[in-house]
Chains A and B, each alone.
Chain A
Amino acid sequence: MEITLYHYLTVGAILFSLGLYAMISRKNAIMILMGIELILNACNLNFIAFSKYGGLGVDGQLISIFVILLAVAEAAIALAIVLNIYNNFNTANIDEVDSMKD
C-alpha cells in the first residue's frame, strides 16, 4: 500500500492529541512542557508532509526550522520560569500555584 499524505497527517493528529492530553491532565509543569513539545512536533510533521506531498517545497521545511527555533526559545524561557516558580513556591506542580485566585 502506497504511503500518502493522509498517513502522515494521521500520525500528526495522534501526536497532537497526545500532547494536548499531557497538557490538560498532568500537573507537573515540566510534563506540560513535554506536551507542548509533542504538539510542536506534530505541526512540524504536518509542514514537512505538505512540503513533500502538498507542493510546499522547501518553504515547508523553512517554516519547520523557524518552529524549531521558537521551540528552543520557548523551552529556555519556560524552564527558567519553572525554576523560578519552584524557588518561590517550592513545588513544580502548577495546581498548587494559585495565590492569585483569592
Chain B
Amino acid sequence: MEFALKFLPLAILIIPLVSFLIIIFFGKRLPRQGDWLGTGFLFLNLFLSLYVFIAFMSLGNYSITYDWFSLGANETKFTVGFVVDQLSAVMLIVVNLISALVHLFSVKYMEGDSKYSKYFAYLGLFTFSMLGIVITNNLLLMYVFWELVGLSSYLLIGFWYEKKPPQEAAKKAFIVNRIGDFGFLIGIMIVFYFIGNFAFSEIFSGISSGKIPSGWLTAAGILLFCGAIGKSAQFPLHTWLPDAMEGPTPVSALIHAATMVAAGVYLTARIFIMLSADALTFVAFIGAITAFIAATIALTQNDIKKILAYSTVSQLGYMIMAIGVGAYSYGVFHLVTHAFFKACMFLGAGSVIYGMHHIQNISEMGGLRKKMPITFVTFLISTLAISGIPFTSGFLSKDSILASTMAFGSINGGITIIIPIIAFLVAGMTAFYMFRLVIKTFLGEPRNKEKYDHCHESPLQMTLPLMILSGLSIFFFYSFNPFGAEGGWFINVLKSPESLLVGTKGAIYHIVSREEFHEALHHAHYPAMILSLVLAGLGILISFVFYFWNKVDTEKLKKALNPLYKFSLNKWYFDELYHYTAVSFVMGLSALASLFDKYVIDGIVNGAAYLTVKLSDFGGLFDKYVVDGLVNFTGGTVWVFGMILRKFQTGRVQTYIGFLVFSIVLLYFIFRWI
C-alpha cells in the first residue's frame, strides 16, 4: 500500500505525457493514428488512481518532496513534490475518469478529421498538465502546470484553426487568462517574499506563525484568487468561456466544463485555509455575482453549447461562492458532482450535434426524444441533477451549498444576506433554463423536418460514456441518504480543514470555527431544502408552461420585456463593454499619440520652420554680401582638410580595424607611462 502512494502518483502524472509524446511524434504511423494508445493509457490511469484513492483511505495523507535546485548566494532552495490528500485523491479520479470517457467519446466524434492524431496528442498533453496541477504540493510548480493547461486549452479551442472564429476564441481565451494569471503570479511573489518557500505546507505553517502581516495576507489571498478568476471564468473575466465553445464538443466537456475550469475552484480550495476574512468575502461575492450574471444570460441563449457554457459559468460561481462562505467540503463536492453531470450534458450535446449533422441552434431541434432515446434519458438525468431534484447527486451538493449560504447569512447578518438570496434565485433560474433546453431539444414536435429525418442515435462508443456519467449523477454514489450529504462517506472524506485564521474579523465578515459553522448549517438545512425544492419546481413548471404547453406566448413576453430580454441575449453587453473600454482605450491612446504627433509636434516643427524661413529671408541679404566672403574662405579650408581626412574613410572595415587596434596600443602606452 505504501508503494501505491509513493510511486503511483508519479506514474499517473507521467503516463499521459508519454502518450502525448508518442502520438505527437509517431501518431501518423501508428495503426488507427494512435487513438487506442491514448484511450488505453487513460483507462490504465483511471485504475491506478482508484488504487491510489483506496490506499489513501487506509493510510491517510502522503506527501513527498525532492530537492530541485538552489539559487542565489544565500542558497534559496527550490523543491518539487506531490501530495496525496483528500482533495488531490478525489480530483485524480475525477480528472482521469472524465478524460478517459472523453477519449472514448472522441474516437467516434472526431472520426475522419484531418488532424485526428494531433487531437489525441493534445488531449494527452492536457491531461498531463491538469494532473500536475492536482498533485503538486508547491505553488511554483502549480503555476507552471497552470500555464500548461492554458496552452493546451488554447491549442484545443483553436483546433480547427482554418476557420476564423476558433482562432479568435483561442486568442481571447489565452489573453483573458493571462490577465488573471498576472495577478496569480504577483500573489505567488508576495507569498515567496514573506515565506521564502513555495511548498504549501511551509507557506501554511509560516502563516500560522504570523510571518505575513494581515494586510499583505489579504492582498496575497485576493491576488492568488485572481488566477482562479481567470481560469474558472469568474466575473469580470468570464467572457472567454462561452467563446471557447468553438472547440470540438468533447473538448468542451473535458476542459471547459469538468476539469480545467474547475482548476480555479481547486486552487481556491487549496489556499482556503490561508484566506483572510476580507479575501473570503471577496471570493464569496465574486462567486455570487458570477452565478447570477451567467444564469440570467443563459435564460435567453439559443445555441445549445452556449447555454451549457453559461450554466457552467454559473455553477462555477456557485462553487467559488461555497468556498467563500466557508463551505469548503460542499464547494469541492459540487465540483465533483458538477464535473460528472456537466460532462454528461456536454457529451450529450455533442451526440445531438453529431446526430443532427452540426446543427447547434435549439430552435431548429425538437422531438429528438424518439430518435435518440439514450441521449435523451442520460441528458434528462443530468438536467435533473443540475436542477437539484431529489435522488440525484446535484441535489445533495447544491442543497448543501444553499444551506451553507443561509448559515453564512444568519451568522454574519447585514449585507451578507444578499448571498443566500442570489443563490436561491439562481437555483430557480437554473431549473428554468435547463428545462427550456431539454424541452426545446428533445420534446415537442420537430421544427426542422429535413434534419430530423436524417437524425440517428449515436453509436455505442458515444453513448457508453453518457450512460456511465449519468449513472454517476445518482445519489447513492455519494451518500446513502438521498436527502442529505451530511454523514455520507464522501463528505467524511472531504473533511474541511480548519482555517488558519479562525476568529479574525474582516470588514463585514468574520471567520468562524468548523463547529460553529456546522451548528448554523444544521438549523438552515430543512428551510433551505424546502425553499430550494419549491424554487426548482417553480422553474421547471414555468418552463413547461412556456415551452411545452405553450400557454404563454413567448414572443409577446419578449416584446413586453424587450430591454431586459435584449440585455440578457447580448450577454449584459460585456464583450461590447470590454471592447469599448479596455480595447478602445489602448486603441484610443495610440490614436491620441498619433494626433499629438500630427498636430502638436508637427505644428511646432512647422512653426519653427516658418519662423526660420522668415528669418533667413532677412538674413539672406546680409549673408549674401557680408558673410559669404568669410564663409567661402572657411569652406575652402574645410574642403582641403576634408579631402585629406577622406583618405581615412576608406569604407573598408579592415582599415577601421587597423586604426582601432593601433589606437588601443597607443592608449596602452599612454596609460603605462603616465
Contact = CB atoms under 8 A, between A and B. Distances in A.
Interface in A1-57: 20, 23-25, 27, 32
A100 interface: yes
A82 B658 CA distance: 21
A75 interface: no
B661 A20 contact: yes
A94 B650 CA distance: 12
Secondary structure dominating the interface of B: helix
A24 B654 CA distance: 5
B654 A25 contact: yes
B657 interface: yes
Contacts of A94: 652-653
A32 B651 contact: no
Nearest to A24: B654
Contacts of B654: 23-25, 27, 32
A32 to B, nearest CB: 7
A42 B27 CA distance: 49
Interface in A83-102: 94-95, 98, 100-101
B651 A101 contact: yes
A20 B657 CA distance: 8
B655 to A, nearest CB: 8
A95 B652 contact: yes
Nearest to A100: B651
Contact of A24 (B649, B651, B657): B657
A32 B653 CA distance: 10
Secondary structure dominating the interface of A: helix
A98 to B, nearest CB: 4
Nearest to A32: B653
Contacts of A25: 654
In this complex, the interface size class of chain A, counting residues with CB under 8 Å from chain B, is: 10 to 19
Nearest to A20: B661
Contacts of A32: 653-654
Nearest to A102: B651
Contacts of A95: 652
B159 to A, nearest CB: 34
Interface in B637-674: 649-654, 657-658, 661
Contacts of B650: 101
Interface residues of B, number: 9
Contact of B651 (A20, A23, A98): A98
Nearest to B655: A24
B305 to A, nearest CB: 47
A23 B652 contact: no
A77 B654 CA distance: 19
Contacts of B649: 101
B380 to A, nearest CB: 63
Contacts of B651: 98, 100-101
Nearest to A98: B651
A100 B649 CA distance: 11
A82 B651 CA distance: 17
Contacts of A23: 654, 657
A98 B653 CA distance: 10
A84 to B, nearest CB: 16
Contacts of A20: 657, 661
Contacts of B652: 94-95, 98
A27 B661 CA distance: 18
A96 B661 CA distance: 23
A98 B652 CA distance: 8
Contacts of B653: 32, 94
Contacts of A100: 651
A77 B184 CA distance: 37
Nearest to B652: A95
A82 B150 CA distance: 40
A62 B650 CA distance: 39
Nearest to A29: B653
Nearest to B661: A20
A31 B654 CA distance: 12
Contacts of B661: 20
Contacts of A98: 651-652
A22 B654 CA distance: 10
A24 B662 CA distance: 12
Contacts of A27: 654
Contacts of A24: 654, 657-658
Nearest to B646: A101
A20 B660 CA distance: 11
Nearest to A94: B653
B661 to A, nearest CB: 6
A82 B572 CA distance: 57
Nearest to A95: B652
A73 to B, nearest CB: 20
A95 B654 CA distance: 9
A27 B514 CA distance: 82
A25 B649 CA distance: 17
Nearest to A35: B657
Interface string B99-131: 000000000000000000000000000000000
A23 B657 CA distance: 8
Interface string B190-226: 0000000000000000000000000000000000000
20 contacts: A20-B657, A20-B661, A23-B654, A23-B657, A24-B654, A24-B657, A24-B658, A25-B654, A27-B654, A32-B653, A32-B654, A94-B652, A94-B653, A95-B652, A98-B651, A98-B652, A100-B651, A101-B649, A101-B650, A101-B651
Interface of B: 649-654, 657-658, 661
Given A20-B657, A27-B654, 8 more contacts: A20-B661, A24-B654, A24-B658, A25-B654, A98-B651, A100-B651, A101-B649, A101-B651
Q: Which 3 A-B pairs have the closest CB atoms?
A: A101-B651, A98-B651, A24-B654
